[in-house]
Each structure stands twice: as structure tokens, then as C-alpha cells.
A and B are shown apart, each in its own frame.
Chain A
Amino acid sequence: MYTEKVMDHFMNPRNVGEIENPSGVGEVGNAKCGDIMRIYLEVEDNIIKDIKFKTFGCGAAIATSSMATEMVKGKTIEEALQLTNKAVAEALGGLPPAKMHCSNLAADALHKAIEDYKNKQKQKEQEQNK
């Protein structure tokens, strides 16, 4: 039911882990639904220098997390914001229809992490202005 690419990213996930003192963290889903994705960012000069994820969920949830991190690593914040859940699924050669909604949330988690990064930046600027 899963493509070879999905199975590859599931069995050998890229960028698993956490980042200490991350520039931003984003999380979507909840344990009750059976899916949680958490993405950690390290941003330098507006570029995603490092990205890590931790995911509780099915094969599709883990594979999309892995693929999403791979797709935006080294990209600018603006480029990363362009990433959609649909694009992640397409890069994996597609997902079973039932998985398109419940497990394909990696881009959302990424966007939340970027939002967190931007909020932190604003806070820093405000503190500096004081």
C-alpha cells in the first residue's frame, strides 16, 4: 500500500532527533488521534542550517516527516514556507488516500516551527530595542 520511497523514508528516516537550543519548534497532532509531529529548526542568516524531527505515528507520518525535513534543509525561510503537505506526498510518490489527511501534516509542523522562530526573532528585536 506504500510506495518504495515511503518505505525507504520510513525504514531509514532522515534527520531524526532533536536540536538543543533550537531557533524554532513546531508541533502538530495529538496522541489521541495517533499522530504527533514535532520539528526543530536551526536557522542562520535566514537559512535552515539544520532541521530535526520526532514523530509518533504510522508509516506515512514518519515518512512525510523525514521527506519534509529533507526538502527544506538548506533552504531559506521563504522557500520553506512554500512547502505544502501535498508537495511532500508527491515527493514520496503519493500516499494511500486514507493517509492524505490524517498522517500528512509534516509541512504544517514545519510552518509552526517557522512561526515559532519568527516570534522568537521579534522578541529578541524588542529586547534589543529596549
Chain B
Amino acid sequence: MRRVYLDHSATTPVRPEVVQLVNKYLTETFGNPSSVHAFGREARKGVETAREQIAALIKAKPEEIFFTSGGTEADNMAIVGTAMANQTKGKHIITTQIEHHAVLDTCKSLIKQGFEVTFLPVNPDATIDLELLKSSIRDDTILITMMHVNNEVGTILPIKEVGQIAKEKGIIFHVDAVQSFGKLPIDVNEMNIDLLSASGHKIYALKGTGCLYIRKGTKIAPLFFGGSQERKRRPGTENVPGIVAFGLAAHLAGQEMEAEAERLTKLRDKLIDGILEKIPNVQLNGHRTNRLPGHVNVSIRYIEGESLLLMLDMKGIAASSGSACTSGSLDPSHVLLAMGIPHEIAHGSLRMTLGKGTTEEDVDYVLEVLPEIVEKLRSMSPLYNSMKLENNEECSKCTQKR
């Protein structure tokens, strides 16, 4: 059976060049970077090369990159670290309702510690209102934390504009760039970003590795204590294989970014147009054009997301959904609800995220299989038939009026 992996926003396979490098760092260059001997020095060199590679991708300085265990830790460090180090200046934080839980739940944990958090609502296409952001800023606002690209619906947020606003007001600006790092151009200076989270396994490197960019001079407190690694901001022996993998993957992503974005945008648009054309009662979630290349999210009415995923899986297609069954709670995705999408339509959401290995044949295969699956599930759905009847009634009423 054909296998089509369309869940690259969840994680990616490790690319062969990276596997080769990791292998070397697992077996030959295994030293502890803090050691004085040659083994240690070689490992140190690998870590510092990776730091340069990652810094180069976002136009930062290498000494502004701090390696972490992943995007979640970087988000925690940025938000809690900023809150702890700046609480004498103020205790107000601004974020959005559509952040990843790594940001949302971290902000909520601070509320319990006496901080106040404004969760900005979003437009139906998951964009934000800059005027609303401006009016939410207070004298005691110390941090604005916002994602670059929404992981669920793919909309790109106006980071540069927000950065300008934050700079004018002297507020620290953190960007969760886990979904955009290596895929969209980022310039931390041009965008006035003070803190930025990124993750390795979204760009064909290893799970368990990420980083936080910290602009020189930004006050931030560490979460961990115990050593001088990462200039005491993130103690603990470095995950050397993960770090060198992240560095190389970032370097290669930078080289390939433009061509890959163009290729994925074409495939994405073919998939979106094909679904909207072949399946009735479907809506695209997120912005139509201002979205991550390779990111598709649609709501297919009258069916539920998990059963859709299971049937796609039986046909070899791996995707994800924002339905309650897949969100781990009784409610569907908080992102879709914040966009004003009703529960029953949010339950039928389907996310397909394309990547390096995705071909046009894969897209054709999905466009062949998906309509059949939708038809099968709809034929079982009590909602579909009653809708058909309602539509018919409406139509007959229209005809009567005429």
C-alpha cells in the first residue's frame, strides 16, 4: 500500500545527511564538550558550529543562541524567565488565544503567581488585530509572546508589525517560531524580536533538541541550575548529537528555503483547490494565501475528525485533526474555537502538512482517496441526510417562491 506522510507539523523524518553526522557524534565524537581533552574539544567544536549555523538562519549572533530540550522548554524559559527577571517592572503579559499549549499553559501558570495575562482574540482567519494589541498594552506590560505561524491552521502572524509596536513601547517580544523556523525567512533585527523559540525535529533533525534565541541585553532568569553550560542560562551536559543535528538541519533548511517554499506552496494549493472542488460542504481553515507553504487545514462538515483519520490511515495516509477525540479533551481545538468555528464544524477538521518527501503523486493520491472516505462517512452520518433534506426543502421553497 502507498504510504503518504502528511503530518510534518507534528514531526519530520531525520534527513540522511543529518543521520550521518549524528552517527559520527554518537560513536567517534562522543566527548563531553566541557572536557579539556581532545574528545571534549571536538564535541565542543561541533556544538559551536551548530550555534553559528542556527544564528545565521535568523541573522543573530552565535552567542545569542541557547540550546534547550526543545520548543516547549524554550517557550517556558522565555516566558517564565522574562517574568521572573522583570517582575519589578510589571506583571502584565500579552499573548493570543491561538498559541500552542507550551505558551498558553505557561502563561496560565504565571497567573497563579500573581501575573496578569491578556489573551488576544483572533479574526476568523486566525490573524490578529494590531489596533487591539496596541490598546491592550499597559504601563506594566513586560512581555508580548506570539507565534509566528499557527501550528493548527498555518496562518502567518504579523510578527514584524508586532515587533515594531513592542520596540516602541519598550516591551520584550518573544516569538514562538517552532512552525516557521527553517521554512520562512526570519531576521531578528529587522523584526525586532528579543526572544525566539525553535525546535529541531520540525526541520528534519532530532526530537529533544531546540533553542532559545536571547537578544544580547535581554533580562531573563534561568529555569535550571547546576552548571556553567550555555553560559549558566541552561545548565546540564549538552545534547551534542541533537545539537549538531539541529545545526546542520538549520543550515540545509536555509539553503533550500526558497525553492522548497515555492514547491510546497504549489502542492499545497493543488491540494486545497482539489479538496474544495471535489468535496461539497468543506471550508478551508486559516488564511487562504498568508499561510505556511505546505500547510492545509479544512473542515469537512457532517463527519468527525477521528473517524476520518482512521480511514485515511487504513489507506496509508497520515494526517491530524482538531476534533475533541484527538485534542485529548471534550472540546475540539482551542484554535478553531477561537476563530469562531462552531463545535460541530471544528470536530470535522483535517490537517495535512506537507514536507520534503511529499510529491505531486502523493497529493493526487489524497485527492483520489479522500472524497471516497468522506462519502462513506457521510453516508453513515445522521447529520448529512437531515442536511440534505433541509437543503431540498429550502430549494423547493425557493422554487415555490419563483
- When chains A and B are docked, how far (Å) is the Cα of A48 from the Cα of B26? 66
- When chains A and B are docked, how far (Å) is the Cα of A86 from the Cα of B216? 60
A18 CB to nearest B CB, Å: 7
Which residues of the partner chain B approach A55 to less than 8 Å between Cβ atoms?
A: 380-382
A62 CB to nearest B CB, Å: 6
Out of A2, A13, A37, A56, name the residue touching B303 (CB < 8 Å): A56
Which residues of the partner chain B approach A117 to less than 8 Å between Cβ atoms?
A: none
A72 CB to nearest B CB, Å: 19
Q: A59-B306, A62-B307 are in contact. Are A16 and B347 (CB under 8 A)?
A: no
- When chains A and B are docked, how far (Å) is the Cα of A56 from the Cα of B345? 12
A61-89 interface code vs B (CB 8 A; 1 in, 0 out): 11000000000000000000000000000
B63 on the interface (CB 8 Å rule)?
Answer: no
Total interface residues on B, CB under 8 Å, equals 24
Which residues of the partner chain B approach A102 to less than 8 Å between Cβ atoms?
A: 324-325, 330
Which residues of the partner chain A approach B306 to less than 8 Å between Cβ atoms?
A: 58-59
**A34 in contact with B382 (CB, 8 Å):** no
Interface residues of A in 91-121 (CB under 8 A from B): 99, 102-103
| Interface residues of A, dominant DSSP | mixed
Interface residues of B in 122-161 (CB under 8 A from A): none
- When chains A and B are docked, how far (Å) is the Cα of A33 from the Cα of B310? 19
B344 on the interface (CB 8 Å rule)?
Answer: yes
Total interface residues on A, CB under 8 Å, equals 27
A6-50 interface code vs B (CB 8 A; 1 in, 0 out): 010011010010100000000100011111111000000000000
Chain B residue with minimal CB distance to A66? B380
- When chains A and B are docked, how far (Å) is the Cα of A36 from the Cα of B325? 14
Out of A2, A18, A56, A103, name the residue touching B383 (CB < 8 Å): A56
Q: A57-B304, A58-B325, A102-B330 are in contact. Are A31 and B383 (CB under 8 A)?
A: yes
* Nearest 9 pairs of A and B residues by beta carbon: A31-B344, A58-B306, A54-B382, A34-B347, A32-B343, A58-B325, A38-B382, A56-B381, A59-B310
Q: Measuring CB to CB, which residues of chain B are less than 8 angstroms from any residue of chain A? A: 302-307, 310-311, 314, 323-325, 330, 332, 342-344, 347, 379-383, 385
29 contacts between A and B (CB under 8 A): A10-B307, A10-B310, A11-B311, A16-B380, A18-B385, A27-B382, A31-B344, A32-B343, A33-B330, A33-B343, A34-B323, A34-B324, A34-B332, A34-B344, A34-B347, A35-B304, A54-B380, A54-B385, A56-B382, A56-B383, A58-B304, A58-B307, A58-B323, A58-B325, A59-B306, A59-B307, A61-B304, A102-B325, A103-B325
